Structure 1
Amino acid sequence: MRAIKVQQPGGPAVLAVSDVPTPSVKPGWSLLKVRGFGINHSEIFTREGKSPSVQFPRILGIEAVGEIAATTDATRLPVGQQAMSIMGEMGRAFDGSYAEYALLPNDQLYPIHSELNWADLAAIPETGYTAYGALLGLQLQPQQKLLIRGGTSGVGVMAVKLAHAMQPDIQVFGSTRNVAKRSELQAIGYDDVIGDIDGQLQTDQRFDRILDLIGPATVPDSLQFLRHFGIVSSTGELGGVWTLDQFDPIMQIPNDGYLTAFYSGEVVQSQLDDLLALIADRHVDVTPTKVFDLDGVQAAHEYLESGHSLGKVVVLP
């Protein structure tokens, strides 16, 4: 099969396509014919050698959609079944989705039924599940004000669309370092756009809910923009900071304010099914911003790193 097997960490140039053996099934694992996958910032970090647990050579890719090509669970995962895989250790402890086929543990393959095309379906797994799970945790209510911090990211763009589908009369604001993207962001569903400069929100507004996709780098600042009984969800690490160091919850979480998080590595089949049903029933536009083929993965990484990206980038092998 054709795959991108990264031999050693480095820049986008290490993402070269080569011919490698197609994996054979083994007990408890099945073979997915990869029809599409998204590109994620965590894969950029891994490619750069910033994931200490990852050993090279490695085929990257933490998500995929496709069809079961060979199975060891013919009841749940028959050959030809549409399936999705998210997170776990794919692309990290074992080879992932940057390939024509991926050998994955059966408990990390989720059977699905969707009439979406492969490009749209490929935009959903990690991005859609993360956005949906975080929004559920924020317990959105009618007529609230929601701020999505990191509004131009793939998860941010998905979240604004899902938020409007879940609560049609909610107001959704997006933050960005580049307010010149205002018209583009409003076109995809944001009611207004707020500048975010050096980790500081450029507004005096307060919000009922804040989905902070920048993560620990900006969470202390986000907490200061909550209304009473507001919630911040720290769901993302776009700021490149993984932990809240020297964080005093008594002093930094405002009275009557709440801090939560969402981890997409804990996938619940029923919640995934609910997400796909919401997208279908409410006709949520999940079309990716850019679509590449396997030979274009290097260009996909370069685009995502450029600072000019907006929304989800997918690859159709």
Structure 2
Amino acid sequence: MHAVVVTQPGGPDALTYCEVEKPTVKPGWSLIKVRGFGINHSEIFTRQGLSPTVHFPRILGIEVVGEVAESTADPKLAVGQKVMSFMGEMGRAFGGSYAEYVLLPNDQIYPVTTDLSWADLAAIPETGYTAYGALLGLRLQAHDQLLIRGGTSGVGVTAAKLAHAIDPSIQVTSTTRQVAKSALLTAAGVDQVLIGGEADLPKEARFDKVLDLIGPKTVKDSLQHLNSGGIVSSTGELGGQWDLTDFEPISAIPNNCYLTSFYSGDVQTEVLQALLDLIQAQHVDLAPAKVFSLATVAMAHREIEGKHSFGKLVVVI
């Protein structure tokens, strides 16, 4: 089969399109024919050698949409069944989705029912589930003022669209570091754009809910901009900082405010299907920003690392 392999850490040129042996099915695992997958920031970090548990050579790719090719879990995973998978150790401890086939543990394969195209479906797994799960944790209510920090990321754009699908009265404000991307956010349905990245928010800015995709680098500031009863969800680490430092909860979290998070590695099939049902019922446009072929994955990596990246990039096979 064809695959994209990283043999040693490096830039996008470290991604090599080549032929490799097709995986062989083993007990407890099933073979998935890859139809598409999204490009994720964590795969950039891994390619660069910043994931200490990942050893090379490795086929990257932490998410996939496709069909069951060979199954050891029939009838749950019958041949031809449309499925999704993401997270776990795919693309890290074992070969990932940057290939024509991927071998996955049965308990990490989620059957889904949807009429979405492969390109649209490929934009959803990790990005859509993260955005939807985080929004559920924020307990959105009618007329909430929602801030999305890191709004031009794939999760940020998806979250803005899903928030309006959940309740059109929710007012969404998204941040961007680049004025030029304001129009793109507005076109994606964002109600207000706030220029700024990792710097503190304006003192007068107040919100009911904050989806902080920049993460530990900005979460302490986000907490200081909540209305009473407000919630911050620190979901993502776009700021490149993994841990909260000098965090003393009593002083950092205002009275009657809350801090939560969402981990997309804990997948519930019913929540995933509810997301797909919401997208179809409300006609949510989650079409990817760009579609690449397997042979041009390196181009997708260059794009997502560039200053002009906006929205979700996917590969369709």
TM range (shorter): over 0.9
The answer as to whether partners of 1:194 and 1:203 remain within 8 angstroms in 2 is no
The answer as to whether partners of 1:288 and 1:311 remain within 8 angstroms in 2 is yes
Question: How has the CA–CA distance of structure 1 residues 296 and 206 changed in structure 2, closer, same or farther, with 3 Å as cutoff?
Answer: same
Q: 2:66: which partner in 1?
A: 66
The answer as to whether partners of 2:13 and 2:298 remain within 8 angstroms in 1 is yes
Q: 2:301: which partner in 1?
A: 301
- Report the AA paired with residue 123 of structure 1: A
Q: Deviations over 1:161-206 (max 9, x none)?
A: 1000001111000011112211110110100100114432246220
- CA root-mean-square deviation: 0.9
Give the SS at the match of 1:244. Answer: coil
Q: 1:50: which partner in 2?
A: 50
The answer as to whether partners of 2:198 and 2:214 remain within 8 angstroms in 1 is no
Question: How has the CA–CA distance of structure 1 residues 198 and 137 changed in structure 2, closer, same or farther, with 3 Å as cutoff?
Answer: closer
The answer as to whether partners of 1:179 and 1:194 remain within 8 angstroms in 2 is no
Q: 2:206: which partner in 1?
A: 206
User: 1:227 deviation in Å?
Assistant: 0.6
Aligned partners of 1:203 and 1:285: how far apart in 2?
34
- Normalised to the residue count of structure 1, the TM-score between the two structures is 0.99
Give the SS at the match of 2:33. Answer: strand
- List runs of 5+ in structure 1 lacking aligned partners: none
The answer as to whether partners of 2:37 and 2:123 remain within 8 angstroms in 1 is yes
- Report the AA paired with residue 159 of structure 1: A
Give the SS at the match of 1:102. Answer: strand
- Report the AA paired with residue 304 of structure 1: I
Q: 1:267: which partner in 2?
A: 267
Runs of 4+ in 1 over 4 A off after TM superposition: none
User: 1:85 deviation in Å?
Assistant: 0.2
Question: How has the CA–CA distance of structure 1 residues 99 and 141 changed in structure 2, closer, same or farther, with 3 Å as cutoff?
Answer: same
Aligned partners of 1:206 and 1:246: how far apart in 2?
24
Identity, % of aligned positions: 63
User: 1:209 deviation in Å?
Assistant: 0.1
- Report the AA paired with residue 62 of structure 1: I
The alignment status of 1:160 with 2:160, answered yes or no, reads: yes
Q: 1:291: which partner in 2?
A: 291
Give the SS at the match of 1:259. Answer: strand
The answer as to whether partners of 2:175 and 2:197 remain within 8 angstroms in 1 is no
- Normalised to the residue count of structure 2, the TM-score between the two structures is 0.99
Within-5 A mapping of 1:227-242: 227-242=227-242
Q: 2:105: which partner in 1?
A: 105
Aligned partners of 1:280 and 1:257: how far apart in 2?
34
Question: How has the CA–CA distance of structure 1 residues 221 and 187 changed in structure 2, closer, same or farther, with 3 Å as cutoff?
Answer: same
Aligned partners of 1:261 and 1:90: how far apart in 2?
22
The answer as to whether partners of 1:145 and 1:171 remain within 8 angstroms in 2 is yes
Within-5 A mapping of 1:21-170: 21-170=21-170
Give the SS at the match of 2:232. Answer: strand
The answer as to whether partners of 1:39 and 1:61 remain within 8 angstroms in 2 is yes
Within-5 A mapping of 1:238-249: 238-249=238-249
- Report the AA paired with residue 89 of structure 2: E
The answer as to whether partners of 2:149 and 2:197 remain within 8 angstroms in 1 is no
Give the SS at the match of 1:25. Answer: coil
Aligned partners of 1:304 and 1:201: how far apart in 2?
25
Q: Deviations over 1:82-117 (max 9, x none)?
A: 000010000001110000000000000000111111
**Which deviates the most, 86-95 or 190-199?**
190-199
Aligned partners of 1:272 and 1:203: how far apart in 2?
37
Q: 2:185: which partner in 1?
A: 185
Aligned partners of 1:252 and 1:180: how far apart in 2?
33
